[in-house]
Amino acid sequence: MAENKLWGGRFKEGTNELVEEFTESVSYDKRLAPYDIAGSVAHVKMLEKQGILTSEEADKIIKGLNEILEEIERGEFKWKKELEDVHMNIEKRLTDKVGPVGGKLHTGRSRNDQVATDVRLYVRKEIKEILDLLKGLRRAFVKQAEENLGVIMPGYTHLQIAQPVLYSHHMLAYYQMFKRDAERFEDTLKRVNVSPLGSAALAGTSYPLDREFTAKLLGFSQVTRNSMDAVSDRDFVAETIFDCAMVMMHLSRLSEELILWSTQEFNFIELPDAFCTGSSIMPQKKNPDVSELTRGKTGRVYGDLVSILTTLKGLPLTYNRDLQEDKEPLFDAIDTVKIALKVNTLIVEGMKPKAERMRQQASKGFSLATDLADYLAKKGVPFREAHRIVGQLVAYCLDKGKDLSQLTVNEFKKFSDKFEEDVLDLMSLEGSVASRKVIGGTSPERVKEEIERIKEEEGF
């Protein structure tokens, strides 16, 4: 019935049961309870400081809120859908426990600024956890790079063998991806860590609230500067989900390579058994299901991003009930990226490269052709001409069934008199990777320097 609602004074009829089911959010927003109570405690302390509540009233309300938190943590709290959301459930329980004084909790506050505060507190905590997980994954890539520094593998463009590279260099490429992800989250955190509390419904409040005080109590770095924007802003939610989507995209790229590398056709790595599954019919199978599911779950996080952007795109200022739909995609994106980071970190830590197989494949596909073109260019041949000459050499090798490393100096000279005896020194994988000494290159010297630089910077 309407009179049982905390907002029901204006209504003559009770809410239809179907509307109760359609509009409730407590089934999922109850996970915000610790943040809702933390925000309420800070609000009460501020109301006491401002003389709006007496010390006795404040103590009674805070004691009640802490007892409710304990009930929730013990799993004893009775969540009621008819009370709509986490806020109303907690406030109703508070008034049941402490009496009419519990109704003073909402003085100078609306559910609009309350939920915005709760979500920001939640996102702030989750981002910090994601940053820790990202660091753990980066550490795993650096460990792989350091432990396998001499392993040479083929580098690819268009999924065709292109040039030999160090396996360590490949691992550090993923380090850079996830380093950027961390930087995105750190930047997002600056916009998350702003307190909307005290903005009330949309216009602020006539009560003499100290917004800076509550912000400080809750660990916010600043307060919002416009009450209308404060209660309707969900940019930080969309931005957080975007950051999650980027992490999943990078994990999906990693997964794709691990799936390929673990096939018999590539046979570059051995994945840890604990993160693979078997077949119900084929006893020989070892399937990279975790990597496949990572690739698949990327789509659901993309869906979360499209969901929040679509929800926000047509909303007039200020608060609209549509914003209730921000939480499920946010929760899903965060939950998905966290478990994906955890399992993929363990995969990276446990996978073992097959050095001999990688080396064997690195020598195929005329992977040293670019070294020959660079050789001629250093001898004064315009690079485009050098490119053409080496292309003819490759065609010659294909006709003769040879590799570039099998050619004699005389055969090289048939294509250019710039070739001399020292060209044979280039025809090794070690020589090729060692020559890439530019900053960011794949030479062992540069890769080792990069590992040391990262370890010092990250504290690994």
Q: Which residues are catalytic?
A: 158, 279
Residues in the chain: 460
Evaluate whether 349 touches 143 at the Cβ level (below 8 Å).
yes
- What is the number of helices (H) and of strands (E) in the chain? 18, 6
d(CA 266, CA 260): 7
Query: Alpha-carbon torsion 101, 102, 103, 107, what sign?
Result: positive
CB atoms closer than 10 angstroms to residue 5: 17
3-state secondary structure of 165: strand
Phi-psi region of 401 (alpha: psi -120 to 50; beta: other; left: phi over 0): left
> What does the DSSP assignment read for 371-431?
HHHHHHHHTT--HHHHHHHHHHHHHHHHHHT--GGG--HHHHHTT-TT--GGGGGGSSHHH
CA angle 94, 98, 101 (to 5 degrees): 90
The kind and range of the H/E element at 269 are: strand 269-270
d(CA 451, CA 436): 16
Which of the 8 DSSP states describes residue 315? P
3-state secondary structure of 67: helix
How many Å from the N-terminal Cα to the C-terminal Cα in the chain? 60
